[in-house]
Amino acid sequence: MNIDIGKTIRISDFIDATDKRSLIVDTTIASAIGASKGLENLSGFIESICYFCDGIMVNPGSAEHQAGLLAGKYRAAPIIRMDWTNAYRDQAFCLPANVVKRVNISNPIDALTLGASAVVASFLLGFDDEFEANNIKDLSFLARGCHQISLPLMVDIRAIGEKVVAANFEESIKLGVSFIQELGADIIIIPECSLENVDYICSWLSVPVLLHVEQFPEEEKVKGFFAHGLAGLVVSAKLCRDRSARDRIKTLQAQIHGQGRKS
């Protein structure tokens, strides 16, 4: 059996080695749409949640400036975003996107230097063929670079392009998952979808699967997610706008790992 010891150790920073579960909070939306409500004071927000989640996604500059809050045995592990996109800028945004772009903003060596336990990049589904090809090429090179230094790569699948509609949403996720596993991702993040789709994806993937949630789920729903094979949840940056975000994240952490952990 081929075991990458370095990756295994780093993955255990944010996927608990005992219960094999994880709770991660994404704060990286600021690089795409600017500082949003709840994340204007990023230091304060990270400090308020760093003991109540397993990992925090940050942009490279934030990882550098918030290093003191992303270190220590009982704090959340830093997961550094490798890409930028304007895909989340709608027509109501002050500078709406005329053409959707996605570019790399860092590399594995830089992330490792910044103390990353892992890196994350997006696979944006539903755009034109050239966009998809470039996205896949970038992720493939990123996977190879991460492999060389034993740095785990998380790929965040976002089915948000104009070609994705309600009728093909679930199948689009399955297709994206297949592509990303073949490219060499160590962990795959999927959008919230039906439990049947979650069960199907988790049953054949050989890597941990996390679910990106844009609403705080109730406890019974959390139990259902993990019963269908998920390794964890990723809390959307949109949920950081909630005034009660810290308390909701703390509650979610207890639901995932059990009471009394990371008090």
In a domain, 260, yes or no: no
126 torsion bin: left (phi>0), alpha (psi -120 to 50), beta (else): left
Q: 158: closest CA among 199, 242, 214?
A: 214
Element (H, E) at 134: helix 129-148
Q: What is the largest CA-CA distance in the chain?
A: 52
- Looking at the domain assignment, is residue 43 inside a domain? yes
Q: How many domains does the chain have?
A: 1
36 assigned to some structural domain: yes
Q: Is residue 179 part of a domain?
A: yes
160 contacts 124 by C-beta, under 8 angstroms: yes
pTM of the model: 0.93
Question: Would residue 261 count as lying in a domain?
Answer: no
**Tens-place pLDDT, residues 143-173:** 999 999 999 999 999 999 999 999 999 999 9
Q: Is 249 contained in some domain? A: yes
Rounded mean pLDDT for each run of 10 residues along the chain, 263 residues in total: 81 94 91 67 88 95 87 86 88 76 94 96 95 96 96 96 95 95 95 94 94 94 94 92 88 87 49
The string of pLDDT tens digits covering residues 86-109 is 888 777 767 777 788 999 999 999
Cα–Cα dist 35/77, whole Å:
22
- Domain span at 39: 5-255
Which helix (H) or strand (E) segment holds residue 170: the answer is: helix 169-183
Q: Identify whether 18 is part of a domain.
A: yes
CATH code of the domain containing 191: 3.20.20.70
Sign of the C-alpha dihedral, residues 158, 196, 13, 206? negative
- Whether 231 maps to a domain, the answer reads yes
Task: Output the DSSP codes for 176-202.
Answer: HHHHHHHHT-SEEEEE---HHHHHHHH
